[in-house]
Amino acid sequence: MQVGFVDVFKQGPFSGNSAAVVILKQWLDDDLMQQMAAIHLVSETAFLVASAPDHYHVRWFSPLSEIDFCGHATMASAFWIFRQQPLLKTVTITAAAVGDMQLANKGDGYITMSLPLRPLQSVATPEVLTHSINQPIKACYVNQQCYVLELENEQAVVATQMDLEAIKAVAPRDVAVTAKSHSDVEFDFYARYFWPANGGDEDPVTGSLYTGIGPLWAEKLDKQTLTAFQASKRGGKVQLQLLPQRIELTGYCNTYMSATIESPDVIKSH
């Protein structure tokens, strides 16, 4: 059984977010997939089963738990599928909580992914979040995935420190921060994503986040095409195109490593 480790939304060496991709003939037991994800120790491991050469079903596991929606691991999955099937130009990947996601091979390592929107709603900032961040909060938004705190500028996003233990109180939602970019002309906005209850301290680049903050910044900036920087330690570049009811994300991917799973505990279950 093969596993690919793919870096997604790369901007330079050792940037972007890593995902492990495992293509199965049939689903493994939930506990086994969770144990494998814990060993892989990347943000998510994507497990896929094909229903046709260009249609796969996916489940995502962080090192801690199964995840309803993971954008970067979906893009990694498509990149890995295109590597295995070089004549394939598009693939549909389906998840129970998200539906169909269409991905296209743009060449030279670039993948474009079409996702359904998850609009944000303006809300009062929960008190626990007010006291868990070292920056003033301009506005607070929420969708089914996370709370999003709007900050003053990109410097505030970079300088953000969160009380990671305290923000577990808003679980199962995670917490993101974002701000318009004032001085970095390459990017329209910055973001970061914290998810201690579901996967780790900070996610390097979070594709699913942009289904919410993409429409937010498209409206605020009156632009349908945007470029975002996720200002984690690794960092990553996300290109966005807003469409009716959907959003397209484009990112650069490459394979960091491929390996063969030889554990008898896995092989005998497959």
Ordered by where they begin, the domains of the chain are 2-117+252-267 (3.10.310.10), 121-244 (3.10.310.10)
Which position has the token pair 């009062």? 124
Do residues 53 and 88 make contact, with C-beta atoms less than 8 angstroms apart?
A: yes
What is the Cα–Cα distance from 245 to 219, expressed in whole angstroms?
14
pLDDT of residue 173: 95
Active site residues: 44
Contacts of 239 (CB under 8 A, 6+ apart): 225, 226, 227, 228, 249, 250, 251
**pTM of the model as a whole:** 0.93
Cα separations (Å) of 269 from 1, 24, 56, 82?
11, 11, 20, 26
Pairing of strands 90-95, 55-61: parallel
Q: Is pLDDT above 80 for 269?
A: no
Structure tokens at 54: 């260009």
What are the pLDDT digits (tens) for 106-135?
A: 999 999 999 999 999 999 999 999 999 999
Q: Supply angle C-alpha 232, 234, 236, rounded to 5.
A: 80
Q: Give the pLDDT band of residue 264 (cuts 50, 70, 90).
A: confident
Rounded average pLDDT over 8-28: 94
